[in-house]
Structure formats: C-alpha cells, structure tokens
Structure 1
C-alpha cells in the first residue's frame, strides 16, 4: 500500500522564476470574444447614412447652404451619417463598436431635433421651412417630389430608423450619467449661437432661424425661458436614454458570421 499524499508539504521551497499567485488580467472581454461580422446590419446602416446625406443634400440645393447648414436638424443628421457610416464599417469588419459617448450623443441630437420640429415647428404660422418660404414654392416634377420628401425624411423617417438601429441592432454600451451633462455642451453653445445670430442680423424674415426665438414678437423673457426649457428637456431625454441603455437586452444577430470556421472532418 502507498502512503496517502499529504495536502500540504511543509518546508517546500518556492520554485524560482514562477509566481505563486495569478495577476488580474487587464484585457477586456471583447478582446477574447470571437469576432463577429454582421453584413446585414452593415447594409442597413449604410442605407441609413446614404438616406441622411441625400436628405441634407436636397435641403442645401433648395435654399441657402449657409442658412440650411445652420439648423440643428441638419447638423445632427450630418453627424448621424458620419457615425452610421463608421458603425457600418465596424459591423462589416467585426471591429469593436464606437464609444458610447459618441453614439449616444448622435442619437440624442437626432431625436431631440425631431421632437423640436414636431412639437414647436410643424404647426408654426407662417409655415416653418429650413430653406425659406420661397424655397419650394415653384418646384414641380421630380424636384418638387424630392422637396416634399426631404422634410419628413429628416424629421421623422431618419430618427425612427436611428432609434430602431440602436434598440434592435446595437450592443448595450453601459452609458454613464456623466454623459448626460457632457451631451448638453453642444446644444447650449448652439442655442447661444442662434440667439446671437438673430440679434446681429438686420430685421427681416431670415433674421431668426426658429420662430420661437423672435424677440421682437415674443420678448426676451419668453425666448430665454423657452431656451432654458429646451435644455432641461434635453437633459431629461438624455437620462431616459441612459436608463433604457442599461436595461435593454442585447441586439438581434442579423447575418452574424463569426471569424472562426470549423473545417470538415478529414478522412
């Protein structure tokens, strides 16, 4: 019979050149996960980016490029096109997603621009257009059709498509509460720019970008109050975005293809 192996061998020296404890790894989980290519997701995002660029191009061709590009909806749509193109490339090549601060800000601005249009601008009198009242008055044929399709694409179709992409096709990115305050920096600067823009230009229909910023008609107290209310609403919307991101499930695996392939058995 053999003697039982003791659990602890006393006075056993440490083997030179070896560690007795395991060091914690600094590699993220994504570094050891198999890469996944998602061609269908990449195609969806590519179409979304192209539609955003097309809608912005139509608006620029119909009006003054400087005035059109000064609108928040146009700027947020251009940001959506750039971010979505980058996300499409990463989905196609199985790379890590874009930072949560960037994708969250893009979605927040696009949704906020859409809500601003439908709540404050859609029923404005006179009718609100980014190209001016004479931009689409005399257009007929294909040009008139494009001019009629561009606004609903910008203010309705693209924001809905961006939200669906985020909810169904994007991985939860664990957004932080600090992002909500950081996302307000650009809208705050933009509101200050538009208020100064309206005060520096001479009186006329093109003086103010938005009807609710007309200080001659509404007064400074009303304009500043609406601007502050917009910033508070945007901050609350950012908090809702962060809360949904922390509770939503993972994305749908449309067209997912892993980077590893099993070879058929030999023989």
Structure 2
C-alpha cells in the first residue's frame, strides 16, 4: 500500500497516540497536534520528519486554521484528517459550571467543526480525501449524568452526517467512529472533569456517575490497538460505513437506543399525519 499522509488532532494519548504509533510504524507520515509538545519527544526522536508536531488547543479557531494550513503546506497532500481531540465531561447538568460547559462544547463540537472547515478547501483542491470523526456510542445513545458530553457528540454527528452529503461530489468521504469502552486513559481523564456532587442527586442515575468513574474494577472490553487498526483500515474502504461501530457494547447500546427511538416514532404515525394541511 502506498504511503499516506495523516493529520490527527490530540496525538499525545488514547486513540490519537495509538493511531500515530501504528501509522508511523507502517511508514506513513503524521501531522499531529498536541497541547504539550514534550509529550511526544519519544516518537519525534524515533521518527524525525515522518512526524510533524504542532501545539494546538482546538478551541482557538485562528490557531486551528493556521495549523491545518501549515500541515497541508508541509506535507503537500493529506489523505486523511482525523478529528480525535476531545474529552468527557460528566455530572448532573445543573452541577456543571458555565466554563465547563463552554469548554466541552468548544473542544468536542466547535473544535471538530473548525478543523474540518479548515481542511475542506485543501481536500477539494487536491481532488479528494477522507475525514474521520471520533465520536462514541454516546453520540447515538444517552445516559444520565453525561448530558453535555452527549450534547457535544450528538451535535458533531449531525454536523458530520450533513457534511458527508455536502462533500460527496468532491470525492471526500466522512466516517464517524463509534467506539464503546476502551482500555485507554479516557476514564481517568473524565474523572478530572466532573461536575459538583449535589446532595439532591444522591442515589440517582446522574449522581452515580461519580462513583462509577471512581470504580477501578470496571475494566472496559475494548482493545484500543484493535480499534485503531479498524479505524485505519476503514480509510482504505471505497464505501466505508457512515458510522464505524467498534465494540460489542457499542453495538448493543446503539441498537437498543435506535430500536426504542424508532418504536416511539412509529407509534405516532397516524397522529403525526393529523397535522398535515388537507389536500
């Protein structure tokens, strides 16, 4: 397979780090963004110019444009743009601060939108490419205590599904990645971004999210190495699925959520028609 060039946000940990390592090992070039460049010293020392690094906070739109433009200028062509930067914010909606809400939406939703918008003119000019958007099964199913995280993921999924239709005429593909629980540092990072524990929510599903995240006995099933390989492999598929479901827990959660949602809608078939204007 020919060598490819990738732009990946948030390469210092989790899926972003694993993807960068797999791609570099097979000979691809990666333009990666991180908040702290020193976190990538080991890979930079090992791979040199095969790995191009830029410091970036995706909530800074002007910086996003500058970094994306520079990545395309440096590599000449970027085959796959991976929106990976993001994190989970958990806790009851009323227990979150305004700053927590703004940063969650700014990182997971607006940041991903702006990375895609900055890359699109370059992808069109080069005659095609692919955008991989990291989401979660939580972009299709919802749980109490994760309202803002779900808001960011449901929002980016709607954006990307519409964007896929806009970009199809330009041979630019879009894939939304729907991982289940994975053995990355996601849970520990999420534990650093919890809302306040309000007494009123003690014993409720939203209140229990705190104890769930603190419970180290809960080990996710997902293998990040296998998950990342599936993401990379999807870029080679001429007709990749719109949503790439990874993990049996993800499949179960999405299937259950969509089945319940469809049943709710179908039960209103005749009631919905009553609001039509008579012909």
Shorter chain as denominator, the TM-score bin is 0.3 to 0.5
* TM-score between the two structures when normalised by the length of structure 1: 0.34
Q: Which has the larger radius of gyration?
A: 1
* TM-score between the two structures when normalised by the length of structure 2: 0.33
